[in-house]
Amino acid sequence: MPELRYNVITREWVVIATERAKRPDQFIRTQARKPLLERDPKCPFCPGNEAMTPPATHVVPDTNSWRVRVTPNKFAALSYEGERRRFVQGIRRTVTGVGIHEVMVETPAHNKTTALLSDQEVELIIQTYLNRFKFASADPRIEQVTIFKNHGEQAGTSLEHPHSQMIAIPVITSQLRDRLSHALEHFDEFGECIFCRVLGQEVKERARLVMETEHFVAFIQFATLTPFSMLIMPRRHMACFVEMHDAEAVDLARILRRSLAKLYHGLADPDFNYAMRTAPSEYSGVKYYHWYVSIIPRLTRMAGFELGSGMFINVSLPEENAAFLRGVKVE
Amino acid sequence: MPELRYNVITREWVVIATERAKRPDQFIRTQARKPLLERDPKCPFCPGNEAMTPPATHVVPDTNSWRVRVTPNKFAALSYEGERRRFVQGIRRTVTGVGIHEVMVETPAHNKTTALLSDQEVELIIQTYLNRFKFASADPRIEQVTIFKNHGEQAGTSLEHPHSQMIAIPVITSQLRDRLSHALEHFDEFGECIFCRVLGQEVKERARLVMETEHFVAFIQFATLTPFSMLIMPRRHMACFVEMHDAEAVDLARILRRSLAKLYHGLADPDFNYAMRTAPSEYSGVKYYHWYVSIIPRLTRMAGFELGSGMFINVSLPEENAAFLRGVKVE
């Protein structure tokens, strides 16, 4: 019998479709990736091609070159210049499309992916995220900052060179507003952070854990919407990503790389997205919200039912997938 | 300058990315579809192959055969048999996965699509939707019924033979619950149905209309999330799909077929989903909610930003796309 599970964080129901469920190894990528060169003369993110992108806004330097390089997105969704203005006319609400849209080139190597980088290289990426998050949050026009990565065509990227992006927007989305307010309701009613509660239960039950480090836990949620989606959650209660201590940032690099390496080796380099899901920086210190990294392998497609109802059908078993990933050995 | 627009129905912000916007004709499908036979001996939905599916639960008969045929989904996401039971344990909530998952084969012709059917054939499909919606709603285990269609691989279908599906679930999704409750808040504050208000404004402004019939209006929303997504909304206030009169059902077939034909001819048969977005049948008569059909061509992909923030970036202009579709002549 299939089971409906309720996600207490997102308030979404998901069908765990036991009868249609695929085994973990049925999600292994079968289509070969195009082999890539270490340097691609036509790639705007490769060293030597810096003139193909706008001037850098932040760089982690290397002898004569760089290790991480941040530039404004050449095809920015939002305009960096301009004032934030809001217009209210009857039922219409619009805001000028100002904001910050940056590309963070994660490594000079065109043919690498996070799973194949060193811990130290991923630390530089995390440090860059922190730097850019703080930069964007200091802009009085900005209400919400999203740092994310698209890997592979199904995940919506067209450029193979490893890169992340930041989009900082002049409004708060109702998705985040609703999650903040639901988390606050839970706190008011039960005197606890709902995320801490979920994390505590996952650590105790162990069935859905993928891996643990000193400061973080990677796990598949009880009511996860899609196959192999994972959260990486800090053990210490923190509402905002920028509350991390240095040792936690180092540890995050370690668990992020290893979690992605488990996907890379276990499922043959699937397309994926990840995003830092965090409260805005002015929420730092609030007791009811808790940031985390959401990793979403793009192994299935949203169809009419999901689009038309808001409910997902997960054709895999979270417990089986977690056991599968635990079994994938990574350095 | 890009513009952020607020969708007053879904409470979602969308970036209308003017600088990155594509022209309407840049969304025309370039990949040829595999030519299909009128009958495929291996297709479980073709006449003569009825034994490949479970026995029909509803049929629109034809001399010696059928015109529309409904069967339980052979790979149902939910179990028709069994009791609805809810389990609450700490923060865990689960419900037994009972429900109704049916396939509605829309036509005997393997190689047709809605745009190529006759108005009368589409009427039979709409009548079938009404029949199955009422059947599912009468089941005391059911809280929400979604009727939807997936056309093409990007829209999540694997079988080409034209078919729709119904999934009736034993809970209400928080997406629908939130929309009902937001619509009620609007009604309480302004004494009007927010959907009627939006429709009235679109009909007055005309810039985003796709087509109008006696009882329905097809339009692109002011703050539409993705290129060429359309709503078909009844002019008469109705909360639930089953409140339609016969003449309205006939007219819905007409505008649905023509709207899909505009996509078919204008964009070279794009992949799409559609879904009947409606309040549950027990909401029939409420003054604050309003059903509609949502048509979503699958021309772009959700990437890390959308998944990580809940905000969409629309790389097209709703007004331009509506004008483009108005210009596509259909019978």
Task: Report pLDDT digits (tens) over A277-292.
Answer: 999 999 999 999 999 9
> Other C-beta atoms within 10 Å of B245: how many?
12
> CB-based contacts of B330: which residues, under 8 Å, 6+ apart?
B115, B258, B261, B262, B265
Partners of residue B102 in chain A, C-beta under 8 Å: none
Inter-chain CB proximity B77 and A17 less than 8 Å: yes
Same structural domain, A135 and A223: no
- pLDDT tier, B229 (very low <50, low <70, confident <90, very high otherwise): very high
Same structural domain, A152 and A228: no
How far apart (Å, rounded) are the C-alpha atoms in residues B85 and A5?
A: 12
> CB-based contacts of B213: which residues, under 8 Å, 6+ apart?
B251, B254, B255
Q: What is the mean pLDDT of residues A308-313?
A: 95
Whether residue B94 lies inside any domain: the answer is: yes
Inter-chain CB proximity A15 and B169 less than 8 Å: yes
Inter-chain CB proximity B19 and A76 less than 8 Å: yes
Chain A: closest CA distance from residue B285 (Å):
21
Inter-chain CB proximity B97 and A296 less than 8 Å: no
- pLDDT tier, A240 (very low <50, low <70, confident <90, very high otherwise): very high
With 90 as the cut, is the pLDDT of residue A331 above it? no
Same structural domain, A229 and A330: yes
Q: Please name the member of A5, A12, A144 whose beta carbon is closest to the beta carbon of B94.
A: A5
- pLDDT tier, B249 (very low <50, low <70, confident <90, very high otherwise): very high
Partners of residue A169 in chain B, C-beta under 8 Å: 4, 13, 15, 309, 311
Q: Please name the member of A77, A97, A294 whose beta carbon is closest to the beta carbon of B308.
A: A294
pTM of the predicted structure, to 2 decimals: 0.96
Q: Which token pair is B166?
A: 């119904």
Catalytic: which of A101, A110, A161, A163? A163
Supply the DSSP symbol for A46: S
Partners of residue B175 in chain A, C-beta under 8 Å: 12, 309-311
Inter-chain CB proximity A4 and B309 less than 8 Å: no
Catalytic: which of B101, B110, B151, B163? B163
Inter-chain CB proximity B294 and A313 less than 8 Å: no
ipTM of the complex: 0.94
Q: What is the mean pLDDT of residues A171-187?
A: 97
Question: What sign does the CA torsion over B103, B109, B112, B115 have?
Answer: negative
> How much is the pLDDT for B19?
80
Q: Please name the member of B13, B94, B176 whose beta carbon is closest to the beta carbon of A310.
A: B176
Same structural domain, A315 and A197: yes
Same structural domain, A141 and A190: no
For residue B303, give the chain A residue with the closest CA. Answer: A156
Q: If you compute the radius of gyration of chain B from its CA atoms, what whole number of angstroms results?
A: 20
Same structural domain, A145 and A234: no
Q: What is the mean pLDDT of residues B69-98?
A: 96
Inter-chain CB proximity A94 and B6 less than 8 Å: yes
For the question of residue A151 being annotated catalytic, the response is no
Give CA A209 to chain center in angstroms: 18
Find the helix or strand (DSSP H, E) in which A146 lies.
strand A144-151
How buried is A63 (Cβ within 10 angstroms: 0-12 exposed, 13-18 middle, 19+ buried)? exposed
With 90 as the cut, is the pLDDT of residue B18 above it? no
Same structural domain, A154 and A203: no
Q: What is the mean pLDDT of residues B253-262?
A: 98
Same structural domain, A195 and A66: no
Give residue B221's identity as a one-letter amino acid code: Q
Distances (CA, A) of A315 to A25, A300, B27, B156, B203: 13, 9, 31, 13, 42
> How much is the pLDDT for A158?
83
Q: Please name the member of A16, A94, A301 whose beta carbon is closest to the beta carbon of B3.
A: A94
Q: Which token pair is A47?
A: 């060293």
Partners of residue A307 in chain B, C-beta under 8 Å: 148, 273, 275, 294, 296
How far apart (Å, rounded) are the C-alpha atoms in residues B234 and B251?
A: 10
> How much is the pLDDT for B247?
98
Supply the DSSP symbol for A324: H
Nearest residue to B166 via CA among B139, B142, B152, B145: B145
Is residue A37 within 8 Å of A255, Cβ to Cβ?
no
Same structural domain, A252 and A331: yes
Q: Please name the member of B11, B82, B303 whose beta carbon is closest to the beta carbon of A150.
A: B303
For residue B83, give the chain A residue with the closest CA. Answer: A1
Whether residue B22 lies inside any domain: the answer is: no
The mean predicted confidence, pLDDT, of chain A is 97
- pLDDT tier, A227 (very low <50, low <70, confident <90, very high otherwise): very high
Inter-chain CB proximity A2 and B90 less than 8 Å: no
With 90 as the cut, is the pLDDT of residue B175 above it? yes
**What 3 state SS string does chain B have?**
CCEEEEECCCCEEEEECHHHCCCHHHHCCCCCCCCCCCCCCCCCCCCCCHHHCCCCCEEEEECCEEEEEEEECCCCCCECCCCCCEEEECCEEEEECECEEEEEECCCCCCCCHHHCCHHHHHHHHHHHHHHHHHHHCCCCCCEEEEEEEECHHHCCCCCCCEEEEEEECCCCHHHHHHHHHHHHHHHHHCCCHHHHHHHHHHHHCCCEEEECCCEEEECCCCCCCCCCEEEEECCCCCCHHHCCHHHHHHHHHHHHHHHHHHHHHCCCCCEEEEEECCCHHHCCCCCCCCEEEEEECCCCCCHHHHHHCCEEECCCHHHHHHHHHCCCCC
Whether residue A243 lies inside any domain: the answer is: yes
Whether residue B28 lies inside any domain: the answer is: no
Inter-chain CB proximity A311 and B148 less than 8 Å: no
For residue B95, give the chain A residue with the closest CA. Answer: A4
User: What's the domain count of chain B?
Assistant: 1
Whether residue B33 lies inside any domain: the answer is: no
Chain A: closest CA distance from residue B64 (Å):
32
> Other C-beta atoms within 10 Å of B165: how many?
23
Helix axes of B194-205 and B174-190: crossing angle, nearest 10 degrees: 80
Domain boundary among A114, A148, A171: A171
Whether residue B31 lies inside any domain: the answer is: no
Q: Which token pair is A135?
A: 């930069």
Domain boundary among A171, A187, A213: A171
Domain CATH for B60? 3.30.428.10
Q: What dihedral angle (degrees, nearest 10) is formed by the CA atoms of A106, A107, A111, A115?
A: -60
Same structural domain, A62 and A110: yes
**In chain A, what are the helix, strand and coil shares in percent, each to the nearest 5?**
30, 25, 45
Q: What is the mean pLDDT of residues B228-234?
A: 98
Q: Which of A23-38 are b and which e, b meaning 16 or more Cβ less than 10 Å from the residue's Cβ?
A: ebeebebeeeeeeeee
With 90 as the cut, is the pLDDT of residue A20 above it? no
Q: Render pLDDT for B266-325 as a digit per residue (tens, 0 to 9).
A: 999 999 999 999 999 999 999 999 999 999 999 999 999 999 999 999 999 999 999 999
Q: What is the mean pLDDT of residues B208-237?
A: 98
Whether residue B25 lies inside any domain: the answer is: no
The total number of residues written for chain A in this structure: 331
* Mutant choice from A8, A12, A91, A176 vs B, greatest count of B C-beta within 10 A: A91
With 90 as the cut, is the pLDDT of residue A237 above it? yes
Q: Please name the member of A77, A144, A276 whose beta carbon is closest to the beta carbon of B20.
A: A77
Domain boundary among A138, A153, A171: A171
What percent of chain A has pLDDT above 90? 97
> How much is the pLDDT for A191?
98
> How much is the pLDDT for A294?
98
How far apart (Å, rounded) are the C-alpha atoms in residues B251 and B117?
A: 15
How far apart (Å, rounded) are the C-alpha atoms in residues A218 and A207?
A: 12
Same structural domain, A198 and A141: no
> How much is the pLDDT for B331?
86
Inter-chain CB proximity A274 and B304 less than 8 Å: yes
Return the residue matching tokens 């989606």.
Answer: A229
For residue B154, give the chain A residue with the closest CA. Answer: A301
SS3 category, A322: helix
Inter-chain CB proximity A308 and B15 less than 8 Å: no
Show the CA angle centred on residue A182, arms to residues A177 and A185, nearest 5°.
Answer: 125
Same structural domain, A183 and A314: yes
Chain A: closest CA distance from residue B5 (Å):
5
Nearest residue to A309 via CA among B296, B327, B50, B113: B296
Whether residue A17 lies inside any domain: the answer is: no
Q: Please name the member of A97, A175, A201 whose beta carbon is closest to the beta carbon of B15.
A: A97
How buried is B268 (Cβ within 10 angstroms: 0-12 exposed, 13-18 middle, 19+ buried)? middle
> How much is the pLDDT for B158?
82
Number of residue pairs across A and B with CB atoms under 8 Å?
Answer: 234
User: Which structural domain, as residue segments, surrounds residue B314?
Assistant: 38-326
What percent of chain A has pLDDT above 70? 100
Q: What is the mean pLDDT of residues A112-132?
A: 97
Inter-chain CB proximity A79 and B313 less than 8 Å: no
* Mutant choice from B1, B4, B141 vs A, greatest count of A C-beta within 10 A: B4
